[in-house]
């Protein structure tokens, strides 16, 4: 089977809140644990043949959540961008944040710009974090990414929730009931393995039938 050397994997990181609630913890504890899962997945990605990893962290519709939760998430993003930038640089990860910036706090915008600048030379993995992102808005603005090969959603729901609508046109979809904070390298490996077992036809015929 042809193994693509540089996959574009996108992940809808869902289930932080339920993970926390099931443990009798406040939802922010789930978001904090979710940030640790991001680190595990980013570390594992290059070894699995992933060249681009696009993570859905905050949707344009997530502003509808209680202001306290939104504020917590925004602080978490800013803090992690500051603390992770050096490690990302060391490991050759180039970070970009996609989505609207005009509704983000200036401190967060500054942290994003600093992290992007610090990691700009990375060539091992192209990591995109979608914050205040809407797939529909991206299409309207022509802000399109390369096609997605594999789209993963954790947390048990089977929907796109306005993520990479255009780019996922021929993506293989992979849904798992695992909550995002429980995800680790083995889960990412299982998803990539499932991807390689799929037959992508892009509207054509299976290899065996094509003659």
* Distance between CA atoms of residues 28 and 157, nearest Å: 20
Q: Toward ligand IPE, which CB reaches closer, 58 or 195?
A: 58
Q: What does residue 112 show for φ and ψ, rounded to 5 degrees?
A: -65, -50
167 part of the interface to Mg ion, by CB under 5 A: no
Q: Could you tell me the smallest distance in angstroms from the CB atom of residue 129 to ligand IPE?
A: 10
Catalytic annotation present for 14: yes
Q: Toward ligand IPE, which CB reaches closer, 133 or 195?
A: 133
Residues that bind ligand IPE (CB under 6 A): 12-18, 56-59, 62, 73, 155, 157, 159, 161
14 part of the interface to Mg ion, by CB under 5 A: yes
The full DSSP string for 41-66 is HHHHTGGGTEEEEEEEEEEGGGGGS-
Q: Kindly name the residue from 14, 132, 149, 187 that is annotated as catalytic.
A: 14
170-185: burial string, b at 16+ Cβ within 10 Å, e else: ebbebbbebbbbbbee
The residue whose two tokens read 């996609």 is: 98
Q: Could you tell me the smallest distance in angstroms from the CB atom of residue 12 to ligand IPE?
A: 5
Active site residues: 14, 62
């Amino acid at each position: 089977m042809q193994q693509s050397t540089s996959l574009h994997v996108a992940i809808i990181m869902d289930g932080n809140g339920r993970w926390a609630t099931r443990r009798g913890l406040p939802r922010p504890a789930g978001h904090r644990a979710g940030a640790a899962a991001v680190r595990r997945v980013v570390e594992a990605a290059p070894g699995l043949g992933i060249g681009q990893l696009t993570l859905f962290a905050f949707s344009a519709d997530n502003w509808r959540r209680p202001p306290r939760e939104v504020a917590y998430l925004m602080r978490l993003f800013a803090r992690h961008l500051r603390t992770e930038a050096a490690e990302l640089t060391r490991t050759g990860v180039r970070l970009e944040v996609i989505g609207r910036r005009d509704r983000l706090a200036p401190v967060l915008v500054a942290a994003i710009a600093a992290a992007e600048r610090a990691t700009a030379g990375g060539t091992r993995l192209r990591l995109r974090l979608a914050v205040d992102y809407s797939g529909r808005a991206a299409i309207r603005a022509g802000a399109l990414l390369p096609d997605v090969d594999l789209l993963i959603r954790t947390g048990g729901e089977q929907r796109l929730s306005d993520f990479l609508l255009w780019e996922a046109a021929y993506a293989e979809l992979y849904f798992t009931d695992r909550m995002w904070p429980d995800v680790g390298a083995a889960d990412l490996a299982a998803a990539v393995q499932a991807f390689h077992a799929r037959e992508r036809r892009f509207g054509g015929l299976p290899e065996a039938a094509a003659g």
